[in-house]
Structure 1
């Protein structure tokens, strides 16, 4: 088309009198996308894409004789004046180049609502300093995120080495058959979602239908929300493990696990690259939270510490550490954000406590309330504003988050005061134990740790699972608090509280696990998504048994531990991390029985004790038989064991492990580090 003969129609036409040379026949948006433009302002393409305010001509700045970048008397660029006049507001640039907006009576919540954008304050980190200023003053009405986009960011979609190609790669990982994806999504929504409060089912189904029904092309691919796509991938990662759970063949299990891992890594990849396209969103926070739960399910606790910290940062970037009431959000939106933050808070505090690493959320930098005991997700904003919160005697799906929030605060205080840089006195330990017991006493009857009321379980199907999460989380916190004092002795029996607390909580937690292992694939997955899966009370009981092989309660402990190991080994879906944990527990059983029999033979004058270890630990394959030989050959039985012979393999002349155990900064080694566990168990046993 000849530019000279072009008749431009529309409310405004492009300026005349351009310099000689190559002439532009498209607006900047159509030109960057190599699309035909009808040369109106705004053009039909920009209206179709929903960005009419971005439609402009590259030489608009020369209008009225101004050079590109020139400002008027009030400091607003020519192009900016035209765009802002369309929006009906005036934005100026101060000397510091900060955006200031003249608004009248702007409330905090309007910033979130008006922008409809993922972040609260620009494209930068939403710090507490900014939050404090905005809470005490008024929220600036920043322009939409689309106005903050640049031509360079749009051009990156055309670059094969840029993020555009990443979108193609991620979409290629989705199954081609919609029926398959529907089935995997329904697996998650019907089996898992209601127990751990991930997404609103109807909303997510609608979003998926809209996503799958998109047309293929540049505009549609560029508009794919990678934040939601990351959430879809991690839901598929769980869904594929729930698909056809009755099949237990090794080939089927391996195929399902590999498919699940592909979706898991796709989700993590989408989480990482999505900031190149968008800001943060609730979907991105949910995706990060579910990635952390996936790692808990696979018992990769150390890596979960990284992912929960990243999810927390994405939540803070949206101002979720400031309560929704401060932003003027609706009650429904406020409760959704409170629950999501509460789940992040619980995982952050407990994972850090389990690993002995710093947590990411600082309470004094947050201003957020605990969730109310109400469920508003199925109501409109208007309906939810008039619903009163229920008393604790009436359970809702929010109750567990409300109660976990209080327990997480105690867990964070335990880490601060008992496992910090400086040693804590035993009086501090007893004080924190009193706080845990006080939290335990305020639990409603249906969540009671001592004698739970099960009468409402049929009416509220989520109660049994939430009860398991709460109970195991309490036992985890109490055992962790007292663990450094488990092996300490005192002539005045000063540490009796710690000894009894460890045995009591570990026994109760193991009882819960013995009941839970009997479930099927879906139930076992629900069980492993809580914070309790970071720590196994069976290991503590194994250490207690090794330390006291002839104590009255040791026989009962060994019976329960053996049953636990048998049930785990019978689980067709157990992974290498779970199997490593079983091996450590079996090592404790073998040591304890070996010491007990050796002591008995020594007292009765037996000279050549039989090979007990080979009879205790029954291995199913060659690798496990080799481990059994290692265990049986490491520790000689008889008088040398009782006297802790310096010639015994693994013997440490400095007796290091009991001292390391008593160190408040000591954290359990990973179960896969069997060599360290062998050394630790041997040296602890030598001290008996």
Structure 2
């Protein structure tokens, strides 16, 4: 009934409009011009006409609904017809904004704008817009479940390229779906490019934002229409901000440059770092670094603060590994170690001031070098595990654990390989710190798919490389061979870490045997390089023995904690004899591997790890479990075990004489373990073993005292002179190096009262350390026993900050310091 009525009204209106006006006669009608043609009523709403958009001619139209301004939707009306109701809203901008905030939701009120048909129309229009939007972003075919993108749209690539490095709009996140994720329903995406990336998991807020289709244009239109006219909107000048950051990054830091040593000393320490540490932990690209390092000393070039910090962190890592033995000590610290501490503290302070958002490759390199320098110099040892874990979390947050090729063209091949190397370095740090502290690592529960670094040398690619060369065979040694091969045993080591840090009751003996066999298989699969080959890459000689040793040690070290709980069960069950043998062989092999490096002058692992301490204790403990007089293999090799412990002590002494005795408990424990084992084997009596241990410990600290800079106080020097320090019992040599030109004998002190009337031997020729103290060389001699009791009551190292009781670990020693 309504439709005919409508037609009647329209026909009436037409007739009314076409009839002449009332009161007009024929004369007047003849004088008038022909009536003007009636204008056509415009069917689009006024708002769509103003915005030059197509209108669906609904009331309100979908365009006004989508933009959130239904009150603006109005149509032209004929004369005599009432205009549509406009909700009676205020005409001011802020009043309209407040009224729209208080409007009821769709379908949530009795407003005529939200009828059922309007709601259905809006829903259909939104779905159509969403489909059109997805088609525009993904013109190519998706995978069956829609979680992977096979090819980027040129339109999307253009949009992404137009964005700044660290910003990608909400609507562009779809182009960063992860195609390599094993779980296709799990959406993971990156933000940024190069090393300025940010990684988000599947449950992040960005995933929810991505589901809200049309949110970004809605916010942009709202800002344009409401904030900009009211001067609330302020466009951020990203280009200007980027220029300011670049200028600040390139600015020099004179305070840091003042810490640099001479050019000759810097070159020597940089060569040590590249020669040893870069063959296991790939942190810098050597050709690129050498090019930048040449500019570093060019007076015409400006040194950026970051490049200065990078050099200082390398110097701190290699400071104590110089070929010459340091001959000056500041109390218990060598001058080389003191310089390293000063450089590390400066780098640490600089790093704390850096932005965590705008980071480059050099910032991650500095982080890796800073941790390496702290570990080499044993700075804040209790924080190694937390520091390595923090680095791993930081790497995960930027997506270093995901394969960089999944991100697409935003990361160059050079940065892709450097991301793999940095991630492999951080993995090695975290896993080793977890093993040393006996604590779990986050890597054991982390899903990662980053490929291992390629087995290639640095001179095979650079920053301009378009495609990386293929990886060489494992039998060909390169500077990246360690990281490349280390990855193949990573799943097993992560599983062992999870088992060893978990409940011990879950680890039965059958699983221990199985893990031991798997470790042996991994060791057997490692290649054997020609360690005698003398070749070099980029001017740095290759050291395959270093990578070979570390690969073997990182696997063998897990055998010891696996079998340790079963050593004491050997007395009750003979099947655990295998644990004793495999435990002893693993410790012996690791000592021999380290000693082989030491013979070639490679001290990298001696400073980077604590194998000397742990292996000496392990050898002592497994031998002490054997009954005296036993003929088993361990007791038959007891003399060889003593030699192995002597090797461990010699490597530990070399490290202390280079760094200082800043961690004395380790060396004192090793001396005591050797004396305890000698007493158990019967090679020395208990008293002689104690005296030999004390002698060895005191002689090492005696060398540190003799090299003090500044020398000992004048009062102590006068005391030494009055007691006759140049006199010693007949036939007893001085400790080594004390009579060399580097030490002033008149400034030394001795803790024992020495005999009189005996002149010191001439300081010529090598001087050997006696096996035992002179006063216990013949315990049956009453005079020797009397002399043993004649300690010097005036001996005191308090002026130098020394306390022998604390250094050795007497009653005041706290074992929780370990």
Shorter-chain TM-score bucket reads 0.5 to 0.7
Q: Is the 8 A contact 2:400 2:423 kept in 1?
A: yes
Indicate the residue corresponding to 1:236 in structure 2.
315
Mapped partners of 1:506, 1:146: distance in 2: 62
1:402 maps to which of 477, 480, 484: 484
Structure 1, unpaired ranges of 5+: 1-64, 71-86, 158-162, 447-452, 602-608, 633-670, 681-688
Rounded to whole Å, the distance in 1 between the matches of 2:318 and 2:445 is 35
Q: Deviations over 1:624-673 (max 9, x none)?
A: 9999xxxx9xxxxxxxxxxxxxxxxxxxxxxxxxxxxxxxxxxxxxx989
Question: CA, structure 1 residues 271+421, in 2 after alignment: closer, same or farther (shift >3 Å)?
Answer: farther
Contact 2:675/2:692, CA 8 A, preserved across alignment: no
1:508 has 2:572 as partner: no
Aligned length: 510
**CA distance in structure 1 between the partners assigned to 2:812 and 2:496 by the alignment:** 26
Q: 1:198 aligns with which of 274, 279, 283?
A: 283
Partner in structure 2 of residue 160 of structure 1: none
Take 1:421 and 1:500, find their aligned partners in 2: how far apart are those partners? 25
CA distance, structure 2, for counterparts of residue 117 and residue 389 of structure 1: 22
Question: Which residue among 359, 362, 365 is the counterpart of 1:286?
Answer: 365
Residue number in structure 2 paired with 1:547: 625
Structure 1 residue 365, shift from structure 2 partner: 2.9
Structure 2 CA distance for partners of 1:589 and 1:133, relative to 1, 3 Å: same
Q: 1:434 pairs with 498, 517, 534, which one?
A: 517
Shift in CA distance, 311/194, structure 1 to aligned 2, threshold 3 Å: same
Deviation at 1:590, TM superposition (A): 1.4
Alpha-carbon distance, 1:477 to partner:
2.1
d(CA) in 1 for partners of 2:261 and 2:528? Answer: 49
Matching residue of 1:341: 423
CA gap 1:185/1:591 in 2 versus in 1, 3 angstroms: closer
Deviation of 1:586 after TM superposition, in Å, equals 1.9
Q: Name which of 147, 150, 158 aligns with 2:238.
A: 147
Contact 2:344 2:374 in 1 (8 A): no
In the alignment, structure 1 residue 388 sits paired with structure 2 residue 470: yes
Contact 1:418 1:428 in 2 (8 A): no
SS in 2 for 1:481: helix
TM-score normalised to structure 1 length = 0.61
Residue 353, structure 1, aligned to residue 432, structure 2? no
CA distance in 2, matches of 1:146, 1:481: 59
Q: Does 1:485 align with 2:566?
A: yes
**Higher Rg:** 2
Rate the CA distance shift 1:235–1:418 in 2: closer, same or farther, 3 A: closer
Structure 2 portions without partners, runs of 5+: 1-91, 98-156, 180-187, 217-234, 629-634, 703-749, 753-772, 774-805
Which residue number in structure 2 is paired with residue 188 of structure 1? 273
- Give yes or no for the alignment of 1:267 onto 2:338: no
| Contact 1:321–1:368, Cα closer than 8 Å, also in 2 | yes
Find the residue that maps to 1:120 and give its secondary structure.
Answer: strand
2:170 partner SS: strand
* Aligned residue number for residue 322 of structure 1: 402
* Aligned pair partner of 2:196 in 111, 119, 122: 119
Provide closer, same or farther for how the CA distance between residues 511 and 191 of structure 1 changes in structure 2, counting only shifts above 3 A. closer
**Partner of residue 615 from structure 2, selected from 534, 537, 549:** 537
In 2, the alpha carbon distance for the partners of 1:672 and 1:494 equals: 41
SS in 2 for 1:480: helix
C-alpha distance in 1 between matches for 2:442 and 2:160: 39
- Change beyond 3 A, Cα 1:334–1:187: same
1:92 and 1:334 map into 2 onto residues whose CA distance is 22
Asked if 2 retains the 8 angstrom alpha-carbon contact of 1:92 and 1:99, the reply is no
* Alignment match, 2:648: 564
Change (3 A) 1:272 1:496: farther
Q: CA deviation at 1:413?
A: 0.8
Distance in 1 of aligned mates of 2:469 and 2:594: 38
Matches within 5 A, 1:59-74: none
| Secondary structure, counterpart of 2:443 in structure 1 | coil
Whole-angstrom CA distance in 1 between matches of 2:277 and 2:168: 46
Aligned partners of 1:341, 1:120: CA distance in 2, in Å?
A: 14
- Distance, in Å, in 1 between the alignment partners of 2:617 and 2:293 is 43
